[in-house]
Amino acid sequence: MGLLLKVFMPLLGVALAFYFYSTPTTFNEEMLRGKRVVVTGASAGIGEQMAYHLARMEAHLLLTARTEAKLQKVVERCLELGAASASYVSGSMEDTTFAESVVKQAENSWGGLDMLILNHLGDSYFNYFDGDVKQVRKLLEINFLSFVAMTVSALPMLKESEGNIVVVSSVAGKTGSPFIVPYSATKFALDGFFSSLRQEFIIEKVNVSITLCILGYINTENTVRAVSHAMKDPPAPKEECALEIIKSGALRQRELYYPPWTVRRLVLLRSIIPEFVDSLVISSYKVENIRR
């Protein structure tokens, strides 16, 4: 065991160093000036904050979410902050026809697209899995199939512009997490689809980047309201998280981990010592506060 630790710990150190420092870090807001960007789930939380950051960078914005009244306010604020243009379309991503229509509106408005940020999310419970297959199917429609539908619709424009696809996912899509079983399943699906699609792009020399954003506990209103009673650690700020997502997409990074140390550690160790990672994940919850 002593010899094993002597070999394992240096290797772990090298792996961690590579994981943290191997990606480019130079970002300039000029990268987004005048870019045509679609942001989904933009009426609140991380999506809203991304819209504001992009507005300050003078991008053209098309925002979408379910709640029209909130979207109107976000668009107004984006124009005040300096967006080159800003508009919205409201609707539910349960309908893949609506998802495709959002991309069509971008094409009609701009004639092209530079960045597609897929950030929307279906409502899910935070509790022990109740066996409701219909809920799993509904979440797959919103959290996965609509992402696929929008990507397929946007690809011709993104290939022409050599643009970016940014997929907002979760650490629950890299390592299993209790109390969010249906949600976790959809996030694993995103990883499988977009990581595989990226490999095909490499083979076919398609110059469209795919950035998968692996997020931990973020202080969006909905998340804090749903899970704060069961979390031991404080949430990370949504404003900084939103900016890091935009940076990672512009820099064409493969994956973003935020908060970096917490999330990267879990993802890296999962393939080496999965039982230990399971214990870390479970220990991060106040399990006694979860009631069936």
HEC string of the chain equals: CHHHHHHHHHHHHHHHHHHHHCCCCCCCHHHHCCCEEEEECCCCHHHHHHHHHHHHCCCEEEEEECCHHHHHHHHHHHHHHCCCEEEEEECCCCCHHHHHHHHHHHHHHHCCCCEEEECCCCCCCCCCCCCCHHHHHHHHHHHHHHHHHHHHHHHHHHHHHCCEEEEEEEHHHCCCCCCCHHHHHHHHHHHHHHHHHHHHHHHHCCCCEEEEEEECCECCHHHHHHHHHHECCCCECHHHHHHHHHHHHHCCCCEEEECHHHHHHHHHHHCCCHHHHHHHHHHCECHHHCCC
User: Which position among 52, 88, 183, 257 bears the catalytic label?
Assistant: 183
Q: Could you confirm whether 183 is annotated as catalytic? A: yes
Q: Which residues are catalytic?
A: 183
